[in-house]
Amino acid sequence: MRNYQETLDYMFAKLPMFSRTGGAAYNKTLDNTIALCDYFQQPQHSFKSVHIAGTNGKGSVSHMIASVLQEAGYKTGLYTSPHLRDFRERIRVNGEMIPETFVTSFIHNAESIIGEINPSFFELTAVMAFVYFREVKVDIAIIETGMGGLLDSTNVVRPEVAVITNIGWDHTQFLGDTLEKIAGEKAGIIKSGIPAVIGETHPDTAGVFREKANLVQAPVIFADQVRKAQILNHNDRMLKILTGILSDGETSEYQLDLPGWYQARNLLTVLEALNQLRKRGFGISDRHIRDGLSSVRKNTGLSGRWELVKESPRVILDVAHNADGITQLRNQLEHTKYKQLHIVFGMVNDKDADAVLTLMPKNARYYFTRAQIPRALDENKLRTLGSSYQLTGDAYPTVMQALNAAVSAARADDLVLVCGSVFIVGEVEAEI
């Protein structure tokens, strides 16, 4: 049997992998996932779950809910993607990554069906998570979709609550070229009789969700129509938020260890999802919620969301990579003090670069770079594209070369921001 590193090499080399190769790894049916679940005797039905989709925020929402459930004493599985540095980040139980030995034994046991159906990396990884959660007997698992919803490999679970954070422009070549079409794909996780929490009300998409919910007779709740949020205080390590219930004016105050301002809107989604879990019998107290939200990083290992990794100069990592994410990042920058802004920036080649570049701050010095994956947009091409949007800077062949150049050029009171792609953030070394 292969050792762990040999197993990873086999998975990355043999299995179609969207994060590396793009569209070639996108399967427009659930056939492979269903076949894998059949092969492993339906692991997806062995635990309760929360299923989470959305264009942005689904990773943060997944980790926040998981952290609260851990504080409430539930053995909590968490399946997310992609990983930043270690494959095992994708599959956790109470914050602990899946053991290397389980990864190797699972792939060994799956080899015959891998040869038969040639599943994608994501299809196989999702079922690996289901099997692991069954083996360790989790009480509940938080399952994040990879892309879309209807045809996503995770869409074989029947959750306690379905959550859709928001709808924006991303993966349009697969999900559709209008917000309504994208919403239709995400709405595919809404199931009969299961409450659906929608994070944000948008005039182009609200009707899509209501129509799907009516069709399958599922209650639908728009989180931003139930609660409002106001940011009270923040720094690079925490965010203090006041929330209010619109129907009766009751207020609550929360301190998050996720300092991004965009977490305020994610919080409303989280609170409503937890409210629905309470209604379904989960013992979640107000104290559990407060403790869970203040310890998301510690409890779950979440990183890359306005994450401070160095001071003097400050270096911040953020995985924002599409128009909506960059808009939220700009809002954060408007409330952040710094002398000069340095941005280490790279993208993958199937994103809408023009939509992102037009939103990037023009008052920054740029360090254009690329992640070491085939989908990465060439750093020189990106620099040329950037110049047409008045974004000026130099190109660097690796992320760490770009980051080291930015840190060297920055003064103590400057800000260095690393963004544009999950893979760019993932290649920032722990010691910088």
Question: For every one of its 432 residues, what pLDDT tens digit does the chain have, with 9 covering 90 and above?
Answer: 899 999 999 998 877 664 444 445 455 789 999 999 999 999 999 999 999 999 889 999 999 999 999 999 999 999 999 899 999 999 999 999 999 999 999 999 999 999 999 999 999 999 999 999 999 999 999 999 987 788 999 999 999 999 999 887 554 455 556 888 888 889 999 999 999 999 999 998 999 999 999 999 999 999 999 999 999 999 999 999 999 999 998 999 999 999 999 999 999 999 999 999 999 999 999 999 999 999 999 999 999 999 999 999 999 999 998 888 899 999 999 989 999 999 999 999 877 899 999 999 999 999 999 999 888 999 999 999 999 999 999 999 999 999 999 999 999 999 999 999 999 999 997 656
Residues 6+ away with beta carbon under 8 Å from 413: 313, 338, 339
89 token code pair: 């980040």
Instruction: Map residue 163 onto helix, strand or coil.
Output: strand
Closest among 230, 236, 243 to 258, alpha carbons compared: 236
**Burial per residue of 65-92, b for 16 or more beta-carbon CB atoms within 10 angstroms, e otherwise:** bbbbbbbbebbbbbbbbbbbeebbbbbb
pLDDT recorded at residue 25? 47
Let me know: does 170 contact 149? Beta carbons within 8 Å.
Answer: no
Residues 6+ away with beta carbon under 8 Å from 41: none
Q: What is the DSSP string of 48-89?
A: EEEEEE-SSSHHHHHHHHHHHHHHTT--EEEE-S--SS-GGG
Let me know: does 90 contact 19? Beta carbons within 8 Å.
Answer: no
76 token code pair: 């909590």
The pTM is what? 0.93
